[in-house]
Amino acid sequence: MSVIAQLVIVAAGILFPIIWMVSSSFKSSADVTAYPPTFLFRPTLENYTRLLQTTPFFSYARNSLIESGSSTLIGLLLGVPAAYAASITRSSWPALVTLSARMAPGTLFLIPWYIVFRDLGMVGTYGALILTQAAITLPIVIWVLLPAFDAIPRSILEAAGVDGCGTLRSLWRVALPLVSSGLVIATILAFVFSWNYFLFALVLSDENTKPLVVAAFNYIGEGSTDWGGLMAAATLIALPPLVLAIAVQRWLVAGLTLGAVKG
C-alpha cells in the first residue's frame, strides 16, 4: 500500500474519535442513541442550548479561564527569570526540580496541599487552585525555556554586557527577544496543560470554583447519560486547547521534547 494511503488511514483513525465527539454533539437525542450509529443526521444545536441553559457552563468556563490564566501568568513571572538565571549560571537545580515535578505523581503533592489548605480554610478557593496549577505551569515554562536560553550563544550576552546592559536589561532587551518563539510555546503549553489538568481541581475545587474538566466529569457522574449534552460539553472544553495548539503546531513538539533531551 502506498505511503499516502497508509497515512490517510492512520490520520482517519486519529481523527475519528474527535469527529465522533463533535458530530454526536450535534445529534438529536434519538440520533445519538441510535444503534447502528447514524452517520448522516440532521444537525441540531439543542444539546448546546440545553447545556448552556441547564448548567452554569459559563461560570465553569470563567473558573477555568481564571485558574489557567493566572497560573500561567505566575508560571511565566517566576519561570522566565529563573530559567534565565539557571542558563547563565549553568546551575542544574531548576532542571532537576522541573524534572521531579514532572515525574512525581500528583498525589505526592496533593495530600500535603489538601491538609494545609484545609487547615488554612482555603479548600475551594481560587487561591488554592491557582497556586497548585502554578506547580504545573512553572515546570513547563522552565522546561521549554531553559534549552531556549541555553541555545543563545554566550558571546551575544557578553556583547550586551560590554554594551552596558545589566543582567535584567540583558534578559529583557536581548535574551527574551531571542527566545520569543519559545516564550509563546511556553505560554501556550502552560495554559493548555493547566486547562487540561484534572486531579488537583478534582480535590481542591468546590461548586463555585470548579473548572470545566471537573464539571464535565461530574456531569458524567450524574448518570444522566445525556450523551448529546456530554459531547457538547466535551467539544467546548476541548476547543481552546486545540485552537491554541494548532496555532503553534510547528514548534509544539520541539517544545515538549527539548527539555527531556537535556535531562
Partner 1 sequence: MHISASSRQRGALAVLAMPAVLFTAMMVVFPILYTIWLSFRTAPLGHATQFVGFANYAQLADSPQFWNSIKVSLTLYVISLAMQLTGGTYLALLLFQAKRMPAILRSILISPFMVPPVVVGMMFLIILDPSLGAANWVLSLFGIAPSAWLASPEWVIPTVALIDTWQWMPFVALIVLGGLQSLPPSVYEAAKIDGAPPRLVFWRITLPLLLPTLATAAILRTVDLLRFFDIIYVTTQGGPLNASDTLNIYGFHIGFELFQFGYASALAMTLTAMVFGVVLALNRLRRAIDW
CB of 208 to partner 1, least distance (A): 19
CB of 221 to partner 1, least distance (A): 9
- Between 52 and 256, name the residue whose CB sits nearer to partner 1: 256
- Between 66 and 238, name the residue whose CB sits nearer to partner 1: 238
- Between 7 and 45, name the residue whose CB sits nearer to partner 1: 7
CB of 49 to partner 1, least distance (A): 20
- Between 53 and 249, name the residue whose CB sits nearer to partner 1: 249
Would you state the torsion angle of the CA atoms of residues 202, 205, 211, 216, taken in this order, to the nearest 10 degrees? Answer: 50
DSSP at 171: I
CB of 180 to partner 1, least distance (A): 19
DSSP secondary structure letters along 208-246: TT--HHHHHHHHHHTT---HHHHHHHHHHHHHHHHHHHH
Buried b (16+ CB within 10 A) or exposed e, 208-236: ebbbbbbbbeebeeeeeebbbbbbbbbbb
Listed residue (237, 151, 233, 244) closest to 190, CA to CA: 244
CA distances from 85 to 81, 101, 173, 178, 253 (A): 6, 19, 15, 15, 25
Q: Which cell is 203 given?
A: 480535590
CB of 175 to partner 1, least distance (A): 11
- Between 20 and 151, name the residue whose CB sits nearer to partner 1: 20
CB of 252 to partner 1, least distance (A): 6
CB of 192 to partner 1, least distance (A): 6
Distance, CA of 31 to CA of 24 (rounded, Å): 8
Would you state the torsion angle of the CA atoms of residues 107, 108, 112, 117, taken in this order, to the nearest 10 degrees? Answer: -50
- Between 52 and 203, name the residue whose CB sits nearer to partner 1: 203
- Between 59 and 172, name the residue whose CB sits nearer to partner 1: 172
CA distances from 135 to 102, 103, 152, 244, 246 (A): 10, 12, 27, 21, 25
